[in-house]
Amino acid sequence: MRRGTNFDTGNWKTRCVMCSGGDGAGDMNKTIAIIGAGMAGLMAARALRERGASVVVLEKSRGVGGRMATKRVGTAVFDQGAQFFTVRDAAMESWLADWERSGVAAKWPGEVNERWTGRPGMTAVAKRLSDGLDIKREHKVTAAMRVADGWELMIEGHGLMRVERLVSTAPVPQTLALLVAGGVALKETLAAELGRVSYHPCLALLVVLDGASAVPVEGVAIKQGPLRWVADNAKKGISPEGQGAVTLLATPAFSAEHYGKTESEVAELLVPAAREWLGSAGVVSVALHRWRYSEPVTTWAERCVWLPEISLGLAGDAFGGPRVEGAALSGLALAARIADTLEHEESAD
């Protein structure tokens, strides 16, 4: 396989079985479908495209980034998922250089090491990665069916898409549900191991203040009580100065216990717990985001799962480690495995 070659020809050809909602068949003519435009999916897509593959990314949300989510509340801007990312692995350095150069990443202000932030917000990095990729937003895959020459995907409101290879970067329980819905049975041991992958929930409360907060510029990792993290997005440099925009992240135990509570019930418990950090400023508004799959409880032994016999790959932070960087490395690892398979098949033709 050569760099820059496209697989949309010959035996790489895929076709749209049934398209509606404005998707033309040409649009669907892709070799590899990647479920999820979070860090793992976007890195896998970029790396596969770099090696000549034809890729379509299917994302159920309107935006990209997954758990690297940035939300605007009035004029305030919040990172409501990942707060920062690390770059410890050498494989990430050239990516970071691009993000810094293009202004979508900068160091967290103050005296903290190893913390990179997205500018203006974590989603900016995902948007940069999305440039030039074929990403179909608001395309929720509801079932994945195995067919003779690949996969058929049922996409809510858009019908069926047929592709040769499938990558899922959705949280593992959601990926397994798609396979079950499509009648796909994985080998027993693998299915059992994947069935044991679980995630902590996380309640994220976004608090808009009427003045400056008392949160230190570097944020606070908290060891006791219902909160595990407090940061002021104004001091972080992504929200207008002078008006506190504070992200409160609850501990896994608190989040599990209070997951079903309403926004105001959660605020009644978390705002008093954060009083010391909110200072004398008054609370203007709160918004609650519930992360059902916030971070994997344990990490898989390998960075990805690639099953060439059924052309199915799994990536994400459950495989690479419970961080943005882990998800990125998982996506890259899977892309390398798939590209090697494609090259091997091509040279055997």
Q: Residues interacting with ligand FAD, by CB under 6 A?
A: 35-41, 58-61, 66-68, 81-85, 140-141, 169-170, 174, 178, 202, 204, 249, 291, 294-295, 316-317, 322-327
Q: Which is nearer to ligand FAD, 245 or 327 (CB)?
A: 327
Cα(60)–Cα(142) distance, integer angstroms: 10
Q: Which is nearer to ligand FAD, 53 or 68 (CB)?
A: 68
- Number of alpha carbons in the 13 Å side-chain half-sphere of residue 170: 23
Alpha carbon 206 to chain centroid distance? 20
Q: Which is nearer to ligand FAD, 58 or 166 (CB)?
A: 58
**Between β-strands 105-107 and 116-118, what pairing exists: parallel, antiparallel or unpaired?**
antiparallel
Q: Which is nearer to ligand FAD, 12 or 293 (CB)?
A: 293
| DSSP element (H, E) containing 328 | helix 324-348
CB of 320 to ligand FAD, least distance (A): 8
To 10 degrees, what angle do helices 39-50 and 123-130 make?
20
**Strand runs labelled E in the chain:** 32-35, 55-58, 70-73, 76-79, 105-107, 116-118, 135-136, 141-147, 150-155, 159-163, 165-168, 199-209, 220-221, 227-232, 245-250, 283-296, 305-307, 312-314
Q: Which is nearer to ligand FAD, 204 or 342 (CB)?
A: 204
Q: Which is nearer to ligand FAD, 16 or 248 (CB)?
A: 248
CB of 31 to ligand FAD, least distance (A): 18
Q: Single out the residue of 282, 288, 296 nearest to residue 327, CA to CA.
A: 296
CB of 189 to ligand FAD, least distance (A): 23
CB of 119 to ligand FAD, least distance (A): 15
Alpha helices (H) along 137-261: 172-181, 188-195, 233-236, 252-258
Q: Which residue has the tokens 């060439």?
A: 308
Cα(333)–Cα(19) distance, integer angstroms: 32
CB of 130 to ligand FAD, least distance (A): 11
Q: Which is nearer to ligand FAD, 85 or 306 (CB)?
A: 85
Amino acid at 69: A
Q: Which is nearer to ligand FAD, 12 or 121 (CB)?
A: 121
Phi/psi at 282 (5° precision): -90, 155
Q: Which is nearer to ligand FAD, 53 or 203 (CB)?
A: 203
CB 213 within 8 Å of CB 246 = yes
CB of 2 to ligand FAD, least distance (A): 29
CB 325 within 8 Å of CB 88 = yes
CB of 322 to ligand FAD, least distance (A): 5
3-class DSSP state of 252:
helix
